[in-house]
């Protein structure tokens, strides 16, 4: 029986470990040909030993699938462009891009230096924008040439991007930026047959194991592992497949066996006097509106 990604060519960035590896294996299990991107760096973004991308390729091939490794830096224009070229030269086309690459440099804001800010924003936010731009340019050219396009992009945000996270100002800002980027890309690219969605996953990975060591501990033998990264991948595969036709510009949380559609910023209580407020009047109105509004969700780590 063919899988739901049968014949599709899929790029997964940051796919050497954790969520990216789980996504790559899940796509391959559903019949996709996979470009496994991983720069092979440590949690702080410093160069590490040989990239694990080749190992994931071997895993996919051992299961009867097709995959190639890509070791370029997707937060550079050339790295992102070569990622798309690798898919097209290896498999003749590109259908799905999963942006997943990232790392952490956690500090409280007063201790967060500019280098750590720039490094995290570069990898997460720029590392989403550049592959998205390169892939979209290829798909646009295909559409303009009259060839049918049913492209999918799955971006990766976080609960930190939705609510904020104490000690992760750089990461939270970058992940919030990915949400905005997704909404704009979905609106701009739909005319070319490109759907763009974003997930906010929770799982046990190298990036989370220190911050959530207790709550994300491995379960007892035989029990459901709610924090396994493989739990997130089925939704990502569906979003990256033909089966998700018509779904674009949406935000999903995924954790364990739970999937949640996040509804984002929507107008709440409002007051309009039809003229300019004085500061005192604006304050009085704001207080009344806040009393009628839903309470804000707490920032992670603030309780």
* From 165, 175, 244, 300, active-site residue: 175
Give the pLDDT mean for 213-222.
60
pLDDT in tens, 291-300: 999 999 899 8
pLDDT attached to residue 50: 66
Domain 9-262: CATH architecture, name and number where available: 3-Layer(aba) Sandwich (3.40)
Give the pLDDT mean for 69-89.
96
CB proximity list for 40: less than 8 A, separation 6 or greater: 16, 47, 48, 49, 50, 51, 52, 53, 71
Q: Say if residues 106 and 211 touch (Cβ distance below 8 Å).
A: yes
Place of tokens 């839903």: 294
Decide if pLDDT at 2 tops 90.
no
Give the pLDDT mean for 167-175.
95
pLDDT attached to residue 39: 87
Q: What span, in angstroms and rounded, lies between the C-alpha atoms of 103 and 50?
A: 17
Predicted model pTM: 0.90
CB proximity list for 83: less than 8 A, separation 6 or greater: 11, 13, 35, 37, 70, 72, 74, 131, 134
Decide if pLDDT at 54 tops 60.
yes
Active site residue 126: no
Active site residue 33: no
Beta pairing class for 96-98 and 9-12 = parallel
Decide if pLDDT at 208 tops 60.
no
pLDDT in tens, 236-262: 999 999 999 999 999 999 999 999 999
Q: What span, in angstroms and rounded, lies between the C-alpha atoms of 51 and 186?
A: 32
pLDDT range class, residue 98, cuts 50, 70, 90: very high
* From 134, 158, 233, 244, active-site residue: 158
Sheet holding 9-12, edge to edge: 66-70, 33-37, 9-12, 96-98, 151-156, 194-202, 251-255, 258-262
In this structure, of 1-5, 38-42, 106-110, 269-273, the range with the lowest mean pLDDT score is 38-42
Mean pLDDT of all residues belonging to the chain: 91
Q: What span, in angstroms and rounded, lies between the C-alpha atoms of 17 and 229?
A: 10
Q: What span, in angstroms and rounded, lies between the C-alpha atoms of 132 and 197?
A: 12
Decide if pLDDT at 209 tops 60.
no
Decide if pLDDT at 197 tops 60.
yes
Compute how many other C-beta atoms are within 10 angstroms of the C-beta atom of residue 170.
23
Longest dimension (CA), the chain: 70
Active site residue 90: no
* From 33, 157, 171, 233, active-site residue: 171
pLDDT attached to residue 106: 85
**More confidently predicted of 44 and 8:** 8
pLDDT in tens, 126-135: 999 999 999 9
């Amino acid at each position: 029986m063919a899988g739901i990604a049968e014949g599709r060519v899929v790029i997964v960035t940051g796919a050497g470990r954790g969520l990216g590896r789980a996504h790559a294996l899940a796509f391959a299990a559903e019949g996709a040909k996979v470009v496994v991107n991983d720069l092979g760096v440590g949690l702080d973004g410093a160069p590490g030993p040989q990239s694990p991308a080749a190992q994931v390729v071997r895993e996919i091939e051992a299961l009867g699938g097709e995959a190639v490794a890509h070791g370029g830096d997707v937060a550079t224009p050339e790295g992102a462009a070569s990622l798309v070229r690798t898919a097209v030269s290896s498999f003749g086309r590109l259908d799905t891009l999963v942006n997943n690459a990232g790392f952490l440099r956690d500090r409280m804001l007063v201790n967060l230096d500019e280098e750590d800010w720039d490094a995290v924003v570069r990898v997460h936010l720029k590392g989403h924008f550049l592959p998205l731009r390169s892939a979209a340019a290829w798909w646009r050219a295909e559409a303009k040439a009259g060839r049918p396009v049913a492209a999918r992009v799955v971006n990766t945000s976080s609960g930190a991007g939705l609510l904020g996270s104490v000690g992760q100002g750089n990461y939270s800002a970058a992940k919030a930026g990915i949400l905005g980027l997704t909404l704009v890309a979905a609106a701009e690219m739909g005319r070319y047959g490109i759907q763009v969605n974003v997930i906010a996953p929770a799982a046990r990975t190298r990036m989370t194991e220190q911050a959530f060591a207790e709550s994300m501990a491995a379960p007892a033998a035989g029990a459901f592992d709610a924090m396994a990264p493989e739990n997130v991948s089925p939704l990502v595969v569906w979003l990256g497949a033909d089966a998700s036709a018509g779904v674009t510009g949406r935000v999903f949380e995924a954790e364990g066996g739970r999937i949640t559609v996040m509804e984002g910023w929507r107008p709440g209580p409002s007051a309009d006097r039809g003229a300019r407020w004085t500061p005192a009047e604006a304050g009085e109105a704001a207080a009344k509106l806040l009393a009628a509004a839903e309470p804000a969700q707490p920032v992670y780590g603030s309780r």
